Amino acid sequence: MAKHKNVGKNEVVIYEDKGKKISVEATLRNETIWLTQIEIASLFQSERSVITKHLRNIFGSGELEEKSNVQKMHIANSDKPVSFYDLDAVLLVGYRVNSKRATQFRIWATKTLREHILRGYTINQNRLLEDRRKFEQLQGTINFLREKSKAKMLAGQEREILDLLAHYSETLTLLEQYDTNKIGKVRGKKEGFKLEYAHCQNVIREIKRELFSKGEAGDLFGAERNGAFQAIVGGLYQTFSRKELYPDLISKAAHLLYLTIKDHSFSDGNKRIGSFLFVYFLDKNNYLFRENGERKISDNALVALALLVAESQPNEKDTIVALISQLIK
């Protein structure tokens, strides 16, 4: 297999003869191999003036069209673009000056190009499958929001849920992105502030004290059920094969909100505690506000989101988590 490296936007493959006496860097571009006159001379162990003469004859006789087989490219340490010649031109020169080496190079080049094309095909296929998966997921989320806006349990929250739907659709511009293969992955942000269970307990006690003084919380508010919340906080930083299951701030925040509410971690106050800790976690990581100073998610939208989590079915988890992640990206 050829040795590969990337130079700028081009991929470079290194050709070596069997004795490794000759080593030439060839540029891969537009599914063919390109060499400069100096590289062709090195490959066939000939003078550059000889290579120049043969190329002039090849193009002058019409054996090859110069426009189709020569490209100007910028290279390091050169003020001007340099002429590169494609594989057809290289081989025609080679057969004139060193037919044995030309045959060896043709065999190597054919194998290298086949590997390159197959690798590119595999990458493109995987990307298209991933794009389709994302598109279907996003469509499912929009349908999910539309249905939830009609649910009786969420009566009175229709406006907020519809606002979520509008925000989600506008942010993603789904159909346009899919048609042009531009659907973007929600890129995470590494968190600087780590959520600790003991710290969360202090925050919850403060929330309870404040709400209790207003008559908005009872004795059961924030009473943890069988260590459920401690397991959630620890799970945010759980690893598998030395990699975190939730590798970035966005995925941790989304799962913190979802799991705190959905797993009924507390005897009372799950939605309020989950929502507050969600905002608190984002704020501590300087991720709650957009560059223009606007909150990434409004209070009304957060209320609607908390209700959606609470009333969702277990099989809707991925949809809900994706929705939360997209809203705060």
| CA atoms of 62 and 89, how far apart (whole Å) | 12
What is the model's pLDDT at position 24? 78
**Multiple choice CATH, 185-328, 3.40.50.1360, 1.20.120.1870, 2.60.40.350, 3.40.50.300:** 1.20.120.1870
Find the helix or strand (DSSP H, E) in which 245 lies.
none
pLDDT at residue 8 in the model: 44
Q: Which fold has domain 3-122?
A: Mlu1-box Binding Protein; DNA-binding Domain (3.10.260)
Residue ranges covered by each domain of the chain: 3-122, 185-328
Closest to 278 measured CA to CA, from 264, 258, 292:
258
pLDDT of residue 7: 39
Structural contact between residues 246 and 180, judged by C-beta atoms closer than 8 angstroms: no
pLDDT at 308: 80
Q: Are 299 and 279 in contact (CB under 8 A)?
A: no
CA distances from 78 to 36, 74, 265, 273 (A): 13, 7, 65, 63
Q: Tell me the whole-structure pTM to 2 decimals.
A: 0.50
- pLDDT in 10s for each residue of the chain, 329 residues: 444 444 345 677 777 777 666 767 777 777 778 889 998 888 888 899 999 999 999 999 999 899 889 988 887 777 888 899 988 898 898 888 887 888 888 888 777 766 665 565 455 555 545 555 655 555 555 556 556 555 554 455 444 444 444 444 443 343 334 334 443 444 455 668 899 999 999 989 988 888 888 888 899 999 999 899 999 999 999 988 888 889 899 999 999 999 999 999 999 988 889 988 998 899 899 998 888 888 888 776 777 778 788 878 888 888 888 888 877 88
